[in-house]
Structure 1
Amino acid sequence: MLESASFDNAATAAVRAKPAAVPLDPGARRWALLAGASCLLPLLLQLPPTIAAVIALVGLGVGALSWRRAQPALLRLVLVIALVGTVLVLARFSFGRDTGCALLAAMFAIKPAETYTLRDARSQIGFGLFGPFATFLLDQGPLSLVLGLAASIFALVALQRLAEIDTLAAPGQPRAPAPPVRQQLWSVARLIGIGLPLALAAFWLFPRLASPLWGVPDRALARPGLSDRMAPGEMVELMNDETVTLRARFNGDAPPTSQMYWRGPVLWNFDGRTWTQAWFGGLPPAGFQASATIWDYELEVEPTDDRQFVALDLPLGAPDNARLSYDYGIYARRPLNALTRWHLRSSPPRRFETDLRETLRRAALDLPSGYNPRTLALAAQWRREAGDDDAAIAQRAMDLFHREFAYTLGTPLAGRHSVDEFLFEQKAGFCEHFSSAFVVLMRAAGVPARVVTGYAGGYYNPVGGYWLVRRSDAHAWAEVWLRGRGWTRMDPTAAVAPERIYDTLADRTPGAGGLFGGIGAATPLFNLGDWARRGWNDFVLGFDASRQERLLQPFGVDRLDAPRLIALFVLFASLAGAWMVWLSSRGERQRDPVLRAWHALGRRYRRLRLERAPHEPALAWAERVAKARPDLAAELRRLSQNFSDWRYAGNQAGRRDARELRNELVRALRAHRPGRTGEPR
């Protein structure tokens, strides 16, 4: 009974003394925090700037406050509630991938407040590795990959240093110093090199699925594509965003920049303030007569989680896995939540829907009652003066904008009669003001009209030989229906005289392009960087199931079906596994020159059948050899004793000691040559 009680007490003491209670020294804590910061950085770069800044500041503050002493549990609880609430408020309580990743980053930012022991540090690093993984849910670009790889390397180095702490020295003796950082980095690089062939085999040869095995909620805070609505001031945020939305490569001549109108949502309905799309789901695409000019091009569309994307005005047809709406909007069959490529052909129309149905005419003339009385009066006056000449009314409006109006992004928020305020008081605005006022004016004069949104212009990258369009190129123009011509594009924004463009996009966002200016801040570095991103998209992100099937076409294999892919994957995975086993089996004895020399010395006695067994201690082997060959006993005992002291006695010899022992073993190898007189035979 006493023995049982003693055993229980010993077990309890052992549990209390487990490594989880080992405190962190300042060096190990610095490495744990550095690894955590490197894991958090790529995720923060993909979050909205305000949320990312709040989380980063909180993380820095928590790290500084918690450096010397632990914070009370109540304070940590209050911090969690406050930070989570702040993130949700900034996210407008929208739930999706962005919000989930932001909450993950917020939780990790306050993790240092409870990181003081070995177990805490390991938990923080393990939790932190979810940061790069979550980053790839939001972006799969090369920068995210590089930062994620760097974070993984820092995390592995930190875990190695924590392992050194876990190997406790004897009581009362100092802990063994950690290996140099360069040595640990080399060790981590070796681990990555061992697993790299298997990862490459899985990427290139594992059969690609047409759709994921699980659904991921849409991005709640992501940069969206073009909206299906237009309200005063909403396009400013989009026009100040220089993120690339698409890249286009033309097969042949490209249109002039002034003719690059990338058609997106067409807006019909107006409630006095906001323009929205109309639903003509049952109608086929309206007919149009194409001109002799045909543009053949390929679009690389960045993900938006929407279904609609843009095409040059007007597309001749819908590509595979997409459809054309009545007003020539292009809709993908699935949400564009990944990089997609589309082959399109477009042509500027000669005539576009010359016969307009009465129901559509009424929709293109509809205006809400009780809004913009001065605009209605002006339109009625123009109608009386022009008679039945709709084209003259449209041209009169264009002349008015050219003569009296200015272009600026700095406009106050409009009131109830927004068009009246713009036409008669402000006389300055940007594309959404011009297009909205123009269409209202046309409808009030009895001319069918609608708003078209999309992008205008583009920037030519001479390095890659393609055009790129950014969200800052967002634009809105108008289409009016004229007898004999049908829908005709009218861009009142472009009619503004150049000397009255007071506030261009290039003034507000350096490098912004579009229909009204070049890309002044573009540099060769920008061109090269975007070309590298496009190459990454083509080589990595664009590697889908169809390209995987054509992987071996250069070797005469037209198509790789699923069974062949699986067979190839098993073959290369087996080879990669054998490579991993071979490198791992070499172990430390192949990396350490002292161990290599020691094992080589043992193999010299193979001809005498006195080779050291793998399980045999050095001194025991020396005694066994001494019994068979007393003439070699003294030298082998000395070498075995030196090796045992260096290897197992905890002397932790420096580089000079290891070199001396290796040289001593090498000299012994040269002296012990079986077959000579007096030597092992």
Structure 2
Amino acid sequence: MADVPARTALDPASRHAAVATGAVCLLPLLLHLPPTMGAALAATAAAVAALAWRRPVPQLVRVLLAVAAIAAVLSLSGFRLGRDTGSALLAAMIAIKPAETFALRDARSLVGFGLFAPFATFLLDQGPLALGLGLVAVLLALATLQRLADVESGDTAAPLLSRRTAVSIGRLVLLGLPLALAAFWLFPRLGAPLWGVPDRALARPGLSDEMRPGEWLDLLNDESPALRADFDGPTPPMSAMYWRGPVLWLFDGAVWTSPRGLRFIPPAPVDPVAAPRWRYTIEVEPTDRRQLVALDVPLDVPAGASMAVDRVVYTPRPLSSLTRWRFESAPVEEFQPDLPPDLRALALQLPNGFNPRTLALGRQWRREAGRDDAAIVQRALAWIRAEFAYTLDAPLVEDRASIDAFLFGYQAGYCEHFAGSFVVLMRAAGIPARVVTGYVGGYRNPIGGYWVVRRSDAHAWVEVWLPAQGWTRVDPTAAVAPERIYDTLSDRASADTGLLGGLGSDAPLRDVGDFLRRGWNDLVLGFDAQRQDRMLQSIGIDRLGAARLGALFGGACAVALLVMLWFSARGPRETDPLLRAWHRLVARYASLGLARAPHETAQDWAARVAQARPEASEALLALTRRFTEARYAPGHTADERAALVRDLRAHRPTRRNR
């Protein structure tokens, strides 16, 4: 530590406290970055802390560390800029900061910059875990800053965490809490942020308007919730719980996509059955996508959304935060029985020169079945049911005969293979068909009575167009593996053990955790502009409006600031009961014009008061003598001090002209 000036050097305990505070601040951000990036940054932070355990790292090495950290973050993010990349760069800089943290100024910089990490976490997630870890980081940062202030004043003998420090931090938190609550409850909520926040460089997993070979494996292995549903009335059976998402029409031989122009065409009419009708509210987790899902088939469009011709629901902005939507769905008897020519052409489109065996088989079935489209569909389902198997370990084939390889080769795969191959086979036979993606099934949380649909419930099925019926759902995956489609999440996870591996024996714990998370979503994340506008309905105010909200917020802020100023002006509270009682006695005489001067001793002040007020001289002089002895003479018991405190509190000067 020779290169650190002695007057600014830190003692080892204070430096360790600053480094530990930086690590705690960094923790919530690392947990919400992509796993590979978070693990790499955590390893970097640990390596730098070990390297700089005793002495600062040379400047050249620090420069190389910074360059390497920036290059690694950009490489892991695919050189895409966004919230993930920016947050990871911040984490990288905090991780290598301990390499030079041996002076007081550097320690304050580490703690100050470290506080940006919990705030950056809220750009990625606003859950209770992020908030809890962020609060711990803030409290520890305040304690460390108090320690650094003691170091600057030369007081390093006090412990890192003492009762005085805890009281001081608690006082600061209580002073700021009213202002924070006023900002949360009363600051007018806007539909869009005041400033542009770039999209996440690495999008959250979710349904997309395209289906590429192998990309669904990440979704099918992700047990995090995609949405939660509350039914107002009857609940559909598991066999009918198909959550309709993006519909894919175009196929280029490898990738299925949805034409963008279709979302601007009005929805096709449907003929719903009289019963049942399902009314429900879905709570959608953030995905950075614009597509909503709804039970097949949605009948209405929720406010703030639009419905395309294939009854896919879109939102005007990405679903980058928690949102709630109200739907009504029902089975239908006829779904677009009259297919327009342009949509028929889309539903029969196939790329030239791809999958010749599948095309030949489809034409053969058409010749053998004549005009009976339903017979061709049933023949394909019977073939799949008899000879195919369900597995997630299907080979990845990317050539001009990928469908041929699946249908006539390995004949094993998951919903992506079954749905895509089935549509190609139907189109080859002249039957309009399309791929529908979404979720299937769900898990009912017995504590809250709501349904949880997880990303692992992602599914792809088929809709074929049949005369006099219109679009009809066909699920080839259910034909070969119905247990994969109609089971519950707990059934699929019965073989798993451990909280992270699946439900297993931890199902009650997972139910409680998800119920608490849903409550957090409802209380905090779901507090939007509409709920804020109707916040005071219980006292007869139906709508607050922007003007009233602004006035309430300004008034609450003014009151909170006045309370803060009042507490700050009072100064720190005297902790010694004896001194507190003595100061109050002096204050009583000060109200009569007999204040104690700063240079006066207790005895001199009492003598001056005795001359001015002879009627109180004997009692005041006796109390002053006892106080002086209790403060400076040894041997006084606790009972004697307590008796003196009572006498000081009881003494009152006589007002002459009352």
> Common fold, TM-score beyond 0.5?
yes
1:659 positional shift: 7.2
1:411 and 2:397 equivalent? no
1:322 positional shift: 0.6
Cα distance, 1:618–1:304 mapped onto 2, change above 3 Å: farther
1:313 positional shift: 0.9
| Match runs of 1:42-441 below 5 Å | 42-168=28-154, 175-178=156-159, 180-278=161-259, 279-292=261-274, 293-416=276-399, 417-441=401-425
Percent identity reads 58
DSSP-derived class of the 2:244 partner: strand
Structure 2 counterpart of 1:305, one-letter code: D
Query: For residues 336-377 of structure 1, what are the alpha-carbon distances to aligned partners after superposition, in whole Å with 9 as ceiling and x for unaligned?
Result: 122111111111221111111222212111111221122122
Q: Could you tell me how far apart the structure 2 residues matched to 1:499 and 1:456 are?
A: 12
Structure 2 counterpart of 1:379, one-letter code: G
Cα distance, 1:302–1:83 mapped onto 2, change above 3 Å: same
Cα distance, 1:618–1:257 mapped onto 2, change above 3 Å: farther
Cα distance, 1:452–1:628 mapped onto 2, change above 3 Å: closer
TM-score using structure 1 length:
0.87
Query: For residues 260-280 of structure 1, what are the alpha-carbon distances to aligned partners after superposition, in whole Å with 9 as ceiling and x for unaligned?
Result: 111111111111111111232
Question: Which position in structure 2 is the counterpart of 1:461?
Answer: 445
Question: Which position in structure 1 is the counterpart of 2:648?
Answer: 669
Preserved CA contact (<8 Å) 2:22 2:110: yes
Q: Could you tell me how far apart the structure 1 residues matched to 2:591 and 2:346 are?
A: 100
Cα distance, 1:248–1:508 mapped onto 2, change above 3 Å: closer
Question: Which position in structure 1 is the counterpart of 2:463?
Answer: 479
1:568 positional shift: 2.1
Q: Could you tell me how far apart the structure 1 residues matched to 2:16 and 2:408 are?
A: 64
Consecutive unaligned residues in structure 1, runs of 5 or more = 1-17, 170-174, 513-517, 647-652, 676-681
Question: Which position in structure 2 is the counterpart of 1:554?
Answer: 538
Question: Which position in structure 2 is the counterpart of 1:26?
Answer: 12
DSSP-derived class of the 2:476 partner: coil
Query: For residues 73-105 of structure 1, what are the alpha-carbon distances to aligned partners after superposition, in whole Å with 9 as ceiling and x for unaligned?
Result: 111111111111111111111111111111111
Question: Which position in structure 1 is the counterpart of 2:564?
Answer: 580
1:432 positional shift: 0.1
Q: Could you tell me how far apart the structure 2 residues matched to 1:589 and 1:490 are?
A: 75
Choose 557-566 or 602-611, whichever is displaced more.
Answer: 602-611
Cα distance, 1:507–1:559 mapped onto 2, change above 3 Å: closer
Q: Could you tell me how far apart the structure 2 residues matched to 1:431 and 1:545 are?
A: 40
Cα distance, 1:507–1:49 mapped onto 2, change above 3 Å: farther
1:479 positional shift: 0.7
DSSP-derived class of the 2:398 partner: coil
RMSD value over aligned CA atoms? Answer: 3.1
Structure 2 counterpart of 1:290, one-letter code: P
Preserved CA contact (<8 Å) 1:618 1:640: no
Consecutive unaligned residues in structure 2, runs of 5 or more = 497-501, 612-617
Q: Could you tell me how far apart the structure 2 residues matched to 1:243 and 1:384 are?
A: 47
Q: Could you tell me how far apart the structure 1 residues matched to 2:69 and 2:582 are?
A: 58
Cα distance, 1:622–1:610 mapped onto 2, change above 3 Å: farther
Preserved CA contact (<8 Å) 2:207 2:245: yes
TM-score using structure 2 length:
0.90
| Match runs of 1:594-605 below 5 Å | 594-603=578-587, 605=589
1:225 positional shift: 2.2
Q: Could you tell me how far apart the structure 2 residues matched to 1:319 and 1:303 are?
A: 18
Preserved CA contact (<8 Å) 1:261 1:455: yes
Question: Which position in structure 2 is the counterpart of 1:515?
Answer: none
1:521 positional shift: 5.8
DSSP-derived class of the 1:468 partner: strand
Q: Could you tell me how far apart the structure 1 residues matched to 2:87 and 2:299 are?
A: 41
Cα distance, 1:344–1:247 mapped onto 2, change above 3 Å: same
1:415 positional shift: 3.5
Choose 148-157 or 360-369, whichever is displaced more.
Answer: 360-369
Structure 2 counterpart of 1:261, one-letter code: Y
Q: Could you tell me how far apart the structure 2 residues matched to 1:607 and 1:563 are?
A: 45
Preserved CA contact (<8 Å) 2:210 2:257: yes
Q: Could you tell me how far apart the structure 1 residues matched to 2:495 and 2:455 are?
A: 12
Q: Could you tell me how far apart the structure 2 residues matched to 1:319 and 1:83 are?
A: 46
Preserved CA contact (<8 Å) 2:282 2:325: yes
Structure 2 counterpart of 1:46, one-letter code: H
DSSP-derived class of the 2:403 partner: helix
1:461 positional shift: 1.0
Preserved CA contact (<8 Å) 2:204 2:286: no
Query: For residues 621-648 of structure 1, what are the alpha-carbon distances to aligned partners after superposition, in whole Å with 9 as ceiling and x for unaligned?
Result: 53243345487769747845985x89xx
DSSP-derived class of the 1:110 partner: helix
DSSP-derived class of the 1:493 partner: helix
Structure 1 counterpart of 2:435, one-letter code: V
Preserved CA contact (<8 Å) 1:339 1:541: yes
Query: For residues 455-512 of structure 1, what are the alpha-carbon distances to aligned partners after superposition, in whole Å with 9 as ceiling and x for unaligned?
Result: 11111112112111111111101111111111111100010156999xx998997899
Preserved CA contact (<8 Å) 2:244 2:295: yes
Cα distance, 1:560–1:242 mapped onto 2, change above 3 Å: same
